[in-house]
Structure 1
Amino acid sequence: MRSWCVLVPTAEGELVRRFLRDRGLLQKHLAIQREADRLVIPTVSRVEIGLPAEEREFDEAFAPIRSYRDVIRIPDRVRPLLPTSFDVIGDIAVLKIPDELAEWRDEIGRAILAWNTKLRVVAQDHGVAGEHRIRRIEVIAGEDRTTTVHVEFGLRYQVDVARAYFSPRLGTERMRVAERVRPGETVADPFAGVGPYAILIGRRRRPRRVIASDANPVAVEFLRANVAANRADLVDPREGDAREVLGEIRPVDRVILDLPHSAMDFLPEAVAALAPEGFVHVYGILEAADRTATTVEIQRIVEGEGRRLRHLLVRNVRSYSPTQHHVAFDLRVGRA
């Protein structure tokens, strides 16, 4: 491609390149040439900066695509509204799209598929709703499906992102909890979903058994399939209400309450299900100012069940919104 350029001594090349770039004068998609002791830097037009300028033929430069933003074609005025992150579950990208970008959502979907050729589906997340807190999903690009296989720590999970909730962002937290399970423990996971906590514990630790249950029959269908596919023989999959299941299986050594928007509602039953000494992992979506009040409430609930809170560890799992965090509370509960 023919373009204007400036001929720059090699020692001054980077300084001049930055000068041109910062003023929008650098022809970024063309490759800089090197000859003898100078560089030939392509420019968008003839520039007068005290250096020789002429027209030459240039090769296209290779520009690595670091984000779908590099390939998308939308007006500059709405570009700042583009999502900066999204979930990748198997070969499906799931993202929230602001209302202001609604008319460009097809272009967003196509750009994501062009950016990452391993992805086959792009789906818009319209928020979590319903009794089982399932994402409202709409496919906007790629294959018309919502099922996939997600791999986490070498384990494979069949998932339907439109019918059973799954978050790939919690893999590190799942491993953190799994590593705390001691040999011979009986673990209850009453909000098991498709099984990422339960199967990880069953395969990577040495529990006596893991009772994994969920009230969503579709999630349990996938849970059973994933238990079989991963040969997680120590996992006992069940369908049922969390309170009822906890009442049936007591006593247990550890309970995982991974339902952050309402897990505290189930803490009394979790504490009541524990052996004389046991652990509970309970989660919440909280403002920073709410952590102290939640800690006080946990103490009250434990004592209300006639038990003693021997230790409490509080940690942020991840940022949930500009003012909220997904917070983990690790309880060690003993006799009163």
Structure 2
Amino acid sequence: MTHISVIAMGGTIAMVPGSSGGVVPALTAADLLAAVPGLADVTITAQTLRSLPSPSLGFADLVALSQAVRAEIDAGAEGVVVTHGTDTIEETAIFLDLTVDSDTPVVVTGAMRHPASAGADGPANLYAAVRVAASEAARGLGALVVMSDEVHGARFVRKGHTSSTAAFVSPGFGPLGLVVEGEPRLRGTPRIPLHLPATDRVTELRVGLVTVALGDDGELLRRGGDAFDGIVLAGLGAGHVPATMVPTVADLAAKIPVVLASRTGSGPVLRQTYGYPGSERDLLDRGLLHAGFLDPAKARVLLLLLLADNADRDRITASFDYYR
């Protein structure tokens, strides 16, 4: 029988009505598994590592999670499933993708509807996640997110809706596969050959994510730039900023790594189409680094892990080039 380890972190999938109104995390990994039929043919071990809403998770929690996942794999788990809140599931998935150096499937799942609601999706998502984690076809694909019977790669997936059970999408790429009648049907997309350590140093660094907006003059960056060890700039369109921001952005890029991403939610930052002040060509020429197709939140996780590993500018550039 395939040995699967389930690690619970909290989130909507584990929430029950609280005494003061609304739902709060309370269910353990064992509680979640008890609500899922059809897993008698799989050996499952369960542990509850955290019981938090995902907005309250921090990088110290992700370091502990990465260590727990690697410990389960070292102990013989043939697949690992992490239950997690959906608000930050994509950041946790890319963190695991980068820090768990193993072909063993690591699958993150959650729920959009809490267990006490009509049509709760948690049990079905957990069932599908276990099936994917137990699949030989999932080996070597890196961390995966399984929601609504779709299998998404960690580097592609993002939450695209506040409440729909079909909230998770992979813009521009689509899912890596589906779960049909309990059977994962996957197409191979090997993981990025990049591995970074998960150490406590990530908690000592601060990487900012700043979204550019119409009429932005860069005052936020001027006031807060010195507080950061690195910045991800979620630029307009294909990677653009207003001309009034350029001096501030260029000054920061001369001091710390500034990664240029797009706030659009789909598609890579361009490199050489536009040439006006504040265009992608202008910003890259001024020392900003190219995020490729990574969305701003994922680019922030990668930059933080690189800085925590003392990566220099050339290594940071080469690492982001994997996501061209």
Q: What range is the shorter-chain TM-score in?
A: under 0.3
More strand as a share of residues: 1
Q: Which has the larger radius of gyration?
A: 1
Whose RCO is larger (CA < 8 A, sep 6+)? 2
> What TM-score comes out, normalization by structure 2 length?
0.23
